[in-house]
Structure 1
């Protein structure tokens, strides 16, 4: 049996909302420690249950890198997840930026190696979608989340339905 789809998960925006007046965001326990990112208080622990219910393999695709496992996973009740390590900058990055391609797009495809995947991020554009459709042999869902609100029930439904359908295609 072929491996199931990957779920590339960004943190800032999808899990830790930002962009509204800070007082508009609820704060969740435990409160961040003095040496922790103060925005961790916006991380809703119930998101972990929703993420675990998604039918795929969760992978951190965030600038938090391995800190996501140390700081976020315990608060969400998640196990340590694989982390997409970003390559060093290159000339390709400059060319990608000139055409508007997100700097994560190419490394995500290299990591996926043709496997179906869902990418959940707040910075996905039509350029990324077009590039993936032309360069990735497998199925892909690039799901943009409104960073002001983070992942909502509607987002989980869309991603979950796509993941279930991709397993049967």
Structure 2
């Protein structure tokens, strides 16, 4: 079964709070379209790298559908499903877990998943372990740098160990 991969944007794909100035990226067609002043901080090569993991990508961000309008084209991604994480923001959840945790687990509905975010804590990991019957990797990304090769290596290793790695390509 293909694992889901829940993607946060701010601090995960879009680094902030670290080195300034940040690298400015060019896409295959030049700079990003107008719409978000920091979009050029997002490396467009992340899109193909995320797809190569063999997971089903899902937005888990307060950007909601703006992620498909603004960021997906820049990353070369098709429109992705969006978890309504805003539904968990009215009252802070008990136990210090993130307000996205419940909506993500509900959306996963028992399927294996990876969640990439810069705000994951031990409280989220404990809650998911107690409330999600399938395998799950909650991986905290350093918000100062965003998603890097070391993060991809952790995800690839987890997918392999959880039996969710993509099938090797078939010979032509």
Please give the TM-score of this superposition, normalised by the length of structure 1.
0.88
Q: Return 5+ residue gaps in structure 1 as ranges.
A: none
Q: Distance in 1 between matches of 2:141 and 2:87?
A: 26
Q: Return 5+ residue gaps in structure 2 as ranges.
A: 166-172
Task: Return the match for 1:121 from 112, 117, 121.
Answer: 117
- Give matches, 1:98-117, under 5 Å: 98-117=94-113
Deviation string 1:132-164 (CA, Å, 9 cap, x unpaired) is 111111111000000001111010011122123
- Structure 2 equivalent of residue 18 of structure 1: 16
Q: Distance in 2 between matches of 1:100 and 1:74?
A: 35
Q: RMSD of aligned C-alpha atoms? A: 1.9
SS in 1 for 2:134: coil
SS in 2 for 1:22: coil
Greater displacement, 105-114 / 14-23: 14-23
How many residues are treated as equivalent by the alignment? Answer: 162
- Structure 2 equivalent of residue 82 of structure 1: 81
- Structure 2 equivalent of residue 31 of structure 1: 31
- Structure 1 equivalent of residue 126 of structure 2: 130
Please give the TM-score of this superposition, normalised by the length of structure 2.
0.87
More helix by share: 1
1:14: Cα distance to partner? 1.2
The answer as to whether partners of 1:5 and 1:167 remain within 8 angstroms in 2 is no
Deviation string 1:19-73 (CA, Å, 9 cap, x unpaired) is 02431x1111243455x11110101111111111112100011111111111111
1:168: Cα distance to partner? 5.6
- Structure 2 equivalent of residue 49 of structure 1: 48
Q: Would the alpha carbon gap of residues 89 and 50 (structure 1) be closer, same or farther in structure 2, given more than 3 Å must change?
A: closer
Q: Distance in 2 between matches of 1:168 and 1:12?
A: 26
